[in-house]
Amino acid sequence: MLLDRNGGFRPDSWRHLADDEAPADGEAVTISFKRWQAEPERWSDRTRPLGLRLSNDVPPAAFGPAATRFALIVLNFPRFIDGRAYSQARLLRGRFGFKGELRAGGNVLRDQLMFMARCGFDSFEVDAERARAENWPQAFREFEQFYQPAADRRETILRQRLRSWQTAAE
């Protein structure tokens, strides 16, 4: 099941192809980065919504330029303490102009959701039963303001202060 940044649950409508599986006509599928690299022309016909599954050790220079080709990118957290995909997400959003759906897969837990959402993730592969029991949607609302700029483009505390000082000075 997927949890959305806005707190809603929905089923996954994408099929995630293994590297030796063939897609049906017009079906929305994700493929691995390895498969994309091996035969980019095969997947460039644009007759279907195409998604990419990216492992967290692929350097930005390799995946960045092609990012806008995809409607969905799934980043992976092999263990929740492995935070490489946070930087991948920041770069996809901030530097490579990726506007599609950014999804977090793997070991996704409640207390990482806020960080993920701030780095640009839209959806999260979760155990729906546990997520409902522990009220995971609340995790997106635990803080009102933040100190750092991030992919959510919320105004930082520092910028808000600066604005209020400038208003006071006028």
Partner 1 sequence: MALYRYDEFDRKFLEERVAQYRDQVRRRLAGQLSEDEFRSLRLMNGLYLQLHAYMLRISIPYGTLSSAQLRGLAHVARRWDKGYGHFTTRQNIQYHWIRLEDTPDILAHLATVQLHGIQTSGNSFRNITTDPFAGAAADEIEDPRPYGEIVRQWSALHPEFSFLPRKFKIVLNAAPDDRAAVKIHDLGLNLRRNEKGELGFEVLVGGGLGRTPILAQTVRDFVPRRDVLAYITACLRVYNQYGRRDNLFKSRVKILVQSLGIEKYRQEVEAEYAAMGVEREELDLPDAVVAAMQAQFAAPSYPDASGDEAELNQALAAEPDFARWVKYNVKPHKAAGHAIVVVSLKQPGKVTGDCSASQMELLAELADRLSFGEIRITHDQNMVLPHVRKAALYDLWLQLGAAGLATPNIGLASDIICCPGMDYCSLATARSIPIAQALATNLAQREQEIGPLQIKISGCINACGHHHVGHIGILGLEKNGAESYQITVGGSDNAQAALGGIVGPAVAAHEVTATVDRLIDVYLRLRRDGEQFPDTYRRVGLAPFKEALVVAR
Q: Where do contacts with partner 1 occur on this chain (CB under 8 A)?
A: 59-60, 80-84, 86-88, 90, 94-95, 109, 111-112, 114-115, 118-119, 133-134, 142-150, 156-158, 160-162, 165-166
Rounded least distance, CB 4 to partner 1, Å: 18
User: Which residue type is seen at 96?
Assistant: F
Inter-residue contact 21 to 43 (CB < 8 Å): no
CA 51/CA 71 separation, integer angstroms: 6
Q: Which is nearer to partner 1, 13 or 145 (CB)?
A: 145
The owner of tokens 């030796």 is 20
Q: Which is nearer to partner 1, 11 or 59 (CB)?
A: 59
Structure tokens at 146: 């933040």
Rounded least distance, CB 146 to partner 1, Å: 7
Rounded least distance, CB 105 to partner 1, Å: 16
CA 57/CA 69 separation, integer angstroms: 20
